[in-house]
């Protein structure tokens, strides 16, 4: 199975993670998730691979976080995921996926554990 990355070329951590993969001889399938927004089902699958809740994947410092009312801790995972599909900027990045495993590239080296 091919390795893929949810990538934002304007993000330094995303660029560093992509370069790390390429330096290891890996040319991942690149998904610019701001242009090609993942569906709710795709996000649920990624969350399962990451082993985290939807809230753990949120970028809480984005303006859209407050605008969407995501500071309300009582929101369900489905509501949080719906907000991420409407405001993909809220999705933490980069995410590297290898089969049934995924890691957030913060720091970029954290993705190395799923490459073996």
Q: Which of 30, 21, 76, 23 is nearest to 53 (CA)?
A: 76
Sheet with strand 95-98: strands edge to edge? 29-32, 3-7, 95-98, 101-104
- CA dist 74 and 93 (Å) reads 24
Contact 3, 49 (CB under 8 A): no
Is residue 11 flagged as an active site residue?
yes
Q: Of 3, 4, 11, 34, which is the active-site residue?
A: 11
User: Which residues are known to be catalytic?
Assistant: 11
């Amino acid at each position: 199975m091919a390795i893929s990355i949810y990538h934002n070329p304007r993000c330094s951590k995303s660029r560093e993670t992509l370069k790390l993969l390429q330096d290891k001889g890996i040319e991942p399938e690149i998904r610019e998730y701001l242009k090609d927004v993942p569906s709710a089902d795709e996000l649920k699958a990624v969350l399962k691979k990451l082993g985290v809740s939807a809230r753990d994947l949120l970028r809480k410092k984005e303006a859209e976080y407050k605008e969407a009312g995501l500071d309300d801790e009582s929101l369900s995972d489905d509501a949080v995921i719906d907000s991420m599909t409407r405001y993909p900027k809220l999705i933490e990045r980069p995410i590297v996926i290898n089969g049934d495993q995924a890691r957030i590239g913060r720091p970029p080296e954290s993705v190395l554990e799923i490459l073996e």
